[in-house]
Chain A
Amino acid sequence: MSSAGFELGGNRLARRRRVNFGMEALAWVAAALAVSVLVVMVYAVARRGWSQLNLDLITKQPIPFSFTNAPQGLSNAFAGTIVLVAIATLMALPVGILVAVYLNEFAPPTIRSAVTLVLDILNGVPAIVIGIFVYGLVVLGHGQSGFAGSFALACLMLPLVARATMEVLALVPNSLREAALGLGVARWRTTVSIVLPQTIGGVLTGTVLAVARVAGETAPLLFTSSLVGNRPSWNPGHALQSIPVAIFELSESSDPKDHARAWAAAFVLLLFIMLASLGARWLALRSRRKLTAG
């Protein structure tokens, strides 16, 4: 403790108590600030998008420079996002699970730390650089497509799925594996039929979180799937519109009706992401309870 001069004990204590009170108050303020920023943002999105939040948003296509009041929506963006995210999941999920299986079940320690580092590096690559990468790899020469966009999204999903799977694989007790081996079950059978089924909850959680993350990503799609038409398309061979790119484009318009549609789409996106995150959290809790109970 400090050896500053001899103060009357009471004064010193009072000053320390005041400082403590001040710091605690600041902590309360910080938390209140964070919560209020979130509330303000979500409220702004909800209030401003409310007027355009109707079935038209999903069923009608956009009509740029319409001088009539014909109903418009963002049907092309909703259809496109579903296709893009679905294909990205199909690309990333198997690879992510296999990488986790390899690292947790087969890899010697040096390779394990090396590939884990690689996964962390991949996780840290900015989304816009991934967009440039996929543009250079796939789009140049072949044109934009839903597949190119999905591939870019899959690159973002991969580390998330792999990491989630690894965490859950590590939770599966070794006694399970050893028991199976002792019974004469082949290594691969053990992994596929005994270990992996235990991890389904965790993998699902990781996948849902990864889906929630990429559903809102704009940068990777800007160069890979942005030259699109207004008609909703389910064909990933051509570029597909997506909700985040649509919001991005509408946000820079000068037409307040465009803004309203952007807010409405943002509201739907936000709702989906929040529900997915909460759902994933609930799933994680459930699967963790099952694993630790067993």
Chain B
Amino acid sequence: MSAADLAEAARRPFTGRRVRFGDLLLQLVAGAAALATTVLVGLIVWKVIDGAHLSISKFGLGFVTRIAWNPVPGHELYGAASFLFGTAVTSFSALLLATPLAIGIALFLTELAPRSLQAPVTALVETLAAIPSVVVGLWGILVLGPTLRDHVEPALHGALGFIPLFGPKGAGASVFTAIVVLTIMILPIVASISRELFLSVPRELKEGALALGTTRWEMVRGVMFPYARGGIAAALILGFGRAIGEAIAVTQVIGGGVWIHWNLFDTGDTLGAKIAASYQGASTNLQASSLIYLGLILLAFSLVVNLAAQWVVRRAARKQGATRGGRG
């Protein structure tokens, strides 16, 4: 083979006439795997729509705005509004609580922690991510719930009871417990992504700010946050996506209520938790289909969130590429 042929072969998979059977086979098999993966995702979407079809044809889009879950035969009526509300409230609240904590942890790990603490604390935070949701839920029902009910909720109600959010204490299984559980679960994701983002901030920028006489906090606020802004947004969106998809731990601690009200200490329900609680026992086809309809809404929700995160990451990467200019 001449040098030119070699260059050709290195660039393209197949050169001219000599197509090796092995090459073809490997490309075919590997390509089939990639195709199968794509088909799988399409199949998932199709199957969920198919399963929800009975409920969609009966209730249409009104399902999304109706507050009802009445499985009484003859008067069956279902609606997703209370579960959408529950999903939104629990996930947003968990994000609200987790974000400052996660960013604080990331800053601690990148700026403040002594060298000896960095590795162990990082490992511990990532271990938190590995705890299965059923174990968090077990701890939630048997330990966290009663503790919150007996100590934290009365205190909050006493101090802030004029806000309808903090009504009279509940039974342990409540929206509040679910929020705390979700916060614990999304904390590690947001923290580890933020940590990697902060690690990637160029030293020159940080040192430049410090050399100008800023305090460390001012440097963080003025240099690191703006630099990592896109990535942190993506981290938050990913954390949010994790929260809305969480079904098991939430269903264990949330108490299953079909209503919309403001007292955090009362029971509630989310899309995933309702499916997990009721699917096995759905006694009519319409009820089963309505539960799958809930799953469809959840799937749509998480797809949008996922794609949003991707878009934010891509935009941030493009911007950083532009500012870096000709480097690299």
Contact = CB atoms under 8 A, between A and B. Distances in A.
Contact of B141 (A120, A124, A218, A251): A251
Contacts of B132: 215-218, 244, 269-270, 273
Main secondary structure of the interface of A (DSSP, over half): helix
Interface string B92-122: 0000000011111101110111000000010
Interface string A234-253: 00000000001001100110
A139 to B, nearest CB: 11
A263 B188 CA distance: 23
A102 B48 contact: no
Main secondary structure of the interface of B (DSSP, over half): helix
B127 A27 contact: no
Interface in B279-294: 279-280, 292
Nearest to B274: A128
Contact of A181 (B10, B105, B134, B307): B10
Contacts of A184: 1
Interface stretch (B71-79, B164-172, B214-222): B214-222
Contacts, number: 263
Given A217-B132, A259-B142, A277-B130, A251 B137 contact: yes
Nearest to A19: B217
Contacts of B292: 132, 136
B30 A35 contact: no
Contacts of A94: 33
A55 B296 CA distance: 43
A252 to B, nearest CB: 7
A79 B48 CA distance: 31
Contacts of B134: 216, 218, 244, 247-248, 251, 266
Nearest to A41: B139
Interface residues of A, number: 92
B295 A251 contact: no
Interface string B23-62: 1011101111110111011011001101100000000000
A119 interface: yes
Contacts of B215: 16-17, 19-20
B156 interface: no
A30 B101 contact: yes
B247 A219 contact: yes
Interface stretch (A65-73, A82-90, A185-193, A197-205): A185-193
A23 B214 CA distance: 14
B124 interface: yes
18 contacts: A19-B215, A20-B216, A29-B104, A30-B101, A30-B104, A34-B101, A34-B188, A98-B30, A124-B306, A125-B44, A126-B299, A128-B248, A182-B6, A189-B22, A215-B132, A216-B132, A248-B134, A270-B132
Which are the 10 A-B pairs with shortest beta-carbon distances?
A216-B132, A30-B104, A126-B245, A102-B30, A98-B33, A20-B215, A124-B306, A188-B22, A188-B26, A23-B217
